[in-house]
A and B are shown apart, each in its own frame.
Chain A
Amino acid sequence: MFDRKNDVVIIGGGLQGCAIALFLAKAGSKVTVIDKTVAGRHASGVNAGGLRLLLRDHREYPIAVRAMDIWAHLDQFVGQAAAEASEVQLQTSQIAIAMDEDEMAWAGERERDMKRRGIPNEQLLDGADIRRLLPGISSQVLGGLVSRPDGHANPANAARAFRMAAAAGGAHFEERCCVVGIDLNGSGSWRVTTDRGTAEAEIVVNCAGAWGAGLAGLVDENLELRSMALSMMVTARVEPFVAPVVIGIDRPLSFKQSAVGSLVIGGGIAGKPCLEEGTSFTVMDRMVSSARATVDAFPCLSDIPVLRTWSGLEGVTPDGIPYIGPSARHPGLWHVFGFCGHGFQLSPAVGETVAASLLSGNIDARLQPFAVDRFQAGKPAQRGRNDAA
């Protein structure tokens, strides 16, 4: 049993929780991270590790750009060895491919829109450009968009890197420890009750990922979240032939070649989530569309065998961007979850901006679009597709 007094208790030891813990601990805060299994066990450790600006929601760009800086200098944050283990590859590009006229028209519109917003890194490519960048790509491809600063990293090792760095900086970790209640103690600070002890703190940060809405429910705060078991498949090793990550526009495609040669294929394929039991199942029936998108894009890969599949549990918000900000109901409580399958790249900057906001008491302006009460009556709808006009 533990009984600990802290400045901040972070519930959920995924990448976001560990990154916040790292920046808080470095600033001298007394932090405890509580995880019901082990840090990085779910979406943080099993995602595709994309470091992507390409096709990102424009509201995420400010923190995404800062996150790229941190990824590029990861050793300064997590140490040399852990940074090397994280296998950060930048400047290898991510490319969105247009396989039909609709997708191509969309790509053109996207490029103009981003230019208008002063975001210059997404560039339009024609079919010849794409064929030069992606050997083996179908002759059907009409063009697409490239973001050259983008790349990828090893998600499991990166999650571990942030966890170890946070611990080395003084953050305390309680793993295999399940939160059963959150309430205010007599003196107005939070008491987090777990199956193994209690932790008290002025501030609680809910980084519980797919379980974030459930945790918010413990303090009667209703945040809409859908849980998904996002799945991936990996093939046998083939000769290295493609350095950029390739993603679809309308098609369920996300495709990269790992350092050892295997192809890692995703694209938002949904497995069967079992949130309560903390597990999920991959559903081969749904891998079909992703396999088809891959073979359509790279017909030469038709004979390459899929060796295995996996999935991880993730929380998805109604508008496709995360909740990051203070609770609308309880002072001293923050919510940081619902990253909709693309939080990996953002995590270091989320850690930095959330920690800075907590320490200063002023919310970093870059976090404003992620306010947790953005869907409440009286707030203007911020659905991205409405502001294209």
Chain B
Amino acid sequence: MTAEPRPDPSAAGTGAMPRDADVIVIGAGPAGMSAAVELSAAGLSVIVLDMNASPGGQIYRAVEANLNEGASHGLANALGAAYSAGQPLVAQFRVQSNIDYRPNTVVWELRTDGTVGWQQAGRGGYLRARHVVLANGAMERPMPFPGWTLPGVMTAGAVQTLIKASRLKPSGRVVLAGTGPLLFLLADQLLKLAVRPALIARTDGLGDKLAALPRLRPAALPALAKGAGWMANLRRVGVRTVTSLTHLEAVGNERLREVVIKAAGKTMRLPCDLLIVHDGIIPSIDLAQGAGIAMEWRPDDASWRPVTDAHGLAKPVSGPSLSPGPNCVWLTGDARTIGGADAAAAHGMHVGQTIAASLGAVKSRHASHSSPAKRYAQAMAARPFIDAAFPPGRWSVELGDATIICRCEEITAAQIRSCAQQGVTDMDQLRGLLRCGMGPCQGRSCATAIARLLSREFDSPLPMPFRGRPPVRPVPLGVLAQLQSLDPDLSRSEALDDKPDASSRGGIDV
């Protein structure tokens, strides 16, 4: 149910803009669902916008359909406890009466004044709330290498999507390459689906484990036990593993035929039907960045993350912005800091409670709940060890000249290096020169790799991502043509004075 738009006392004096809800939550993964449940339980009206057809996010994708009574027991078993853990949260999310849940909805713009541009099935518009919780999750770190654009090369996340949403599983000779917990989780799931990988080629090595040991904390032990279990399974059935992978190449004409791997000094060629790659996950920053939220570059794992306080309140960049007035965007879950599903759910709950308290709405407490902040800290305890033991982003350090970095416009590492050698170290200037980042993905698949190229090889100061402008996701012309603005000021068409006179027209070329 949607609450009636009501005047917001905090907006007094600003023309009392109408609101569609108290809070808009973007994303229905563990963080977004938890935040929405807390807000709803406190009596606030919540609109949840999500790209997927059902709640769960990436990790719990299609969990209701896959775990219901009629579903295959084999799939549930293969996906394991880490997947079925999502079921209670989804159930709790579904029963909340104050949540207006809108699946299959793509958000293409976010503003710091609480305005959200959306589209769904050929319709679109703007919504506005007093607060926006951005819980749009993470994406896999782009992992460019020669041949990565060939059909037959997929990311671990994409393979998981096919398993969960379409109940498809790989066939033929499967090779996994890269690093990070998801790679080993997927390998374990594949084994349970009776798919035996021919090889796992890891970019991490023994040295990383030794270096990581001092970061081990007791609170991390459950997570590590889970990981050790996956590894033991792989060893037990004799899946071949190599470490310290330094070169990877996918070979084939129309599609993948074989992979070339160099690990620990030895090169091997392997016939292959499906190469699954993964190099850790990074926050999805597109919406936050488009809204003008400040980004910080993490040189350790070559990714950006939005700048927020401990509660998740975002910090806009200093300087001019589209929306004057205070920021009301919050970030939570992997979109804020990579931490996995448990951390995301705990932080989402914390953000929900914080916003509810700020609006004077407090729900009756369950005494049994430990504080979400504490649960979040526990869930994050294993991260320092995991990040050191499986260093993500290592791959994008040594990119061969011929490697395509921007796959939309087919721009190679050599072209980017050549521009940088001529003094271009600004991402936007590079985009103007090469068109890298101008394609349909809007730089999502190349920005981190380009930033790393620039920062490692040319010592550029901390790189800033491409300038983000709406729409962050494509919007059909017909949808845009029918859009209703919420701001009289903004919708007033301000153009050149060009009701032309037959003899003099100040036409424009833009």
A320 interface residue (CB < 8 Å to B): yes
In the assembly, what is the distance between CA of A247 and CA of B483, in Å? 22
Which of A110, A268, A306, A385 lies in contact with B496, CB distance below 8 A? A268
A288-B491, A388-B501 are contacts. A308–B442 as well, Cβ < 8 Å?
A: yes
Q: How far is the CA of A265 from the CA of B474 in the complex (A)?
A: 15
Residues on A with beta carbons closer than 8 Å to the beta carbon of B321: 281
* B176-227 interface with A by 8 A CB criterion: none
**What 0/1 pattern do residues 47 to 64 of A give for CB contact below 8 A with B?**
111101011111100000
From A249, A309, A321, A340, contact of B500 by CB (8 A): A249
What is the predominant secondary structure among interface residues of chain A facing chain B? mixed
B477 interface contact, C-beta 8 A = yes
The chain A residue with its CB closest to the CB of B487 is A285
A353 proximal to B (CB < 8 A): no
Is B440 among interface residues, defined by CB-CB distance under 8 A? yes
Interface residues of B in 411-468 (CB under 8 A from A): 429, 432-433, 438-440, 442
Determine whether B508 belongs to the interface, using a CB cutoff of 8 Å to chain A. yes
Q: Does A45 contact B (CB under 8 A)?
A: yes
Is the Cβ of A384 less than 8 Å from the Cβ of B503?
Answer: yes
Query: Which of A6-14, A203-211, A341-349 faces chain B?
Result: A341-349
Knowing A247-B507, A308-B471, A342-B509 are in contact, say whether A236-B483 is a contact too (CB < 8 A). no
Tell me if B505 counts as interface (CB < 8 A to partner A).
yes
Q: Does A279 contact B (CB under 8 A)?
A: yes
Flag if B491 contacts A285 (CB, 8 Å).
yes
Interface size on B, as a range, is 35 or more
A156 at interface (Cβ–Cβ under 8 A)? yes
Q: Is chain B's interface secondary structure helix, strand, loop, or mixed overall?
A: loop
For residue A30, CB closer than 8 A to chain B, the reply is no
Contact A284 B480 (CB under 8 A): yes
Stretch at the interface among A16-24, A180-188, A295-303, A354-362: A295-303
- Provide the bound-state CA to CA distance between A270 and B438, in Å: 22
Shortest CB distance A143–B (Å): 15
CB–CB A288/B481 < 8 A: yes
Q: Provided the pairs A291-B477, A321-B506, A341-B510 are in contact, do residues A309 and B494 lie with their beta carbons within 8 angstroms?
A: no
Chain B residues whose CB sits within 8 angstroms of the CB of A320 once the complex forms: 496-498, 504-506
Given A45-B432, A284-B470, A285-B491: A388 and B509 interface contact (C-beta under 8 Å): no
> Is A268 a contact of B503 with CB atoms below 8 Å?
no
Q: B506 touching A57 by the CB < 8 A rule?
A: yes
A270/B494 in contact, CB under 8 A: yes
Please give, as numbers and ranges, the residues of chain A lying within 8 Å of B126 by CB-CB distance. 285
Q: Once bound together, how far apart are the Cα atoms of A294 and B475, in whole Å?
A: 14
Cα of A48 to Cα of B510 in the assembled complex, Å: 5
If A284-B109, A284-B470, A307-B474 touch, does A312 touch B510 (CB 8 Å cutoff)?
yes
Question: Within 8 Å of chain B (Cβ to Cβ): is A194?
Answer: no
Known: A45-B432, A341-B510. A268 touches B495 (CB 8 A): yes
**Chain B: minimal CB distance from A296 (Å):** 8
B469 contacts chain A at the CB level, 8 A cutoff: yes
Assess whether A49 is in contact with B504, with CB atoms less than 8 Å apart: no
Is B365 located at the chain interface by the 8 A CB criterion?
no
Whether A269 sits at the interface, judged by CB under 8 Å, is yes
Residues in A whose Cβ lies below 8 Å from that of B504: 57-59, 320, 383-385, 387-388
Q: Enumerate chain A residues within 8 angstroms of B109, measured Cβ to Cβ.
A: 284
Known contacts A292-B481, A387-B503, A388-B501: A268-B510 contact under CB 8 Å: yes
Contact of A307 among B440, B491, B497 (CB under 8 A): B440
Determine which of B476, B502, B510 lies in contact with A306 in the assembled complex, contact meaning CB atoms within 8 Å: B476
CA A259 to CA B305, docked complex, whole Å: 36
**Least CB separation from B442: chain A residue:** A308
Q: Which B-chain residue is minimally distant from A47 (CB atoms)?
A: B510
Task: Please tell me if the beta carbons of A305 and B494 are within 8 angstroms of each other in the complex.
Answer: no
State the Cβ distance, A157 to closest chain B Cβ, in Å: 9
Q: Does A113 contact B (CB under 8 A)?
A: yes
* Cα-based distance from A282 to B440 in the complex (angstroms): 18
Q: Within the assembled complex, what's the spacing in Å between the Cα atoms of A288 and B135? A: 28
The reply on A366 being an interface residue by CB < 8 A is: no
A133 interface hit (Cβ, 8 Å): no
Are A254 and B509 interface neighbours, CB within 8 A?
yes
Report the minimum CB–CB distance from B278 to chain A (whole Å).
Answer: 27
Given A58-B503, A109-B502, do A284 and B471 touch, yes or no (CB 8 Å)? yes
A177 to chain B, nearest CB (A): 15
Nearest Cβ distance between residue B486 and chain A, in whole angstroms?
Answer: 8
Query: Can you name 8 A-B pairs with beta carbons within 8 Å?
Result: A110-B505, A112-B502, A228-B494, A268-B510, A281-B320, A286-B491, A303-B477, A308-B469
Q: A285-B487, A342-B506 are in contact. List 10 more A-B contacts (CB 8 A).
A: A38-B429, A56-B507, A57-B504, A110-B505, A252-B493, A254-B508, A294-B477, A307-B442, A314-B510, A320-B506
Chain B contact residues, CB within 8 Å of chain A: 109, 117, 126, 319-322, 429, 432-433, 438-440, 442, 469-471, 474-478, 480-483, 485-487, 490-491, 493-510
| Chain A residues with a Cβ under 8 A of chain B | 38, 43, 45, 47-50, 52, 54-59, 106, 109-110, 112-114, 117, 156, 228, 230-232, 235-236, 247, 249-250, 252, 254, 266-270, 272, 274, 277, 279, 281-289, 291-292, 294-295, 301-312, 314, 316, 319-321, 340-342, 344-345, 383-385, 387-388
The list of the 7 closest CB pairs from A to B, nearest first, reads A384-B504, A320-B506, A302-B478, A305-B474, A385-B501, A50-B509, A341-B508
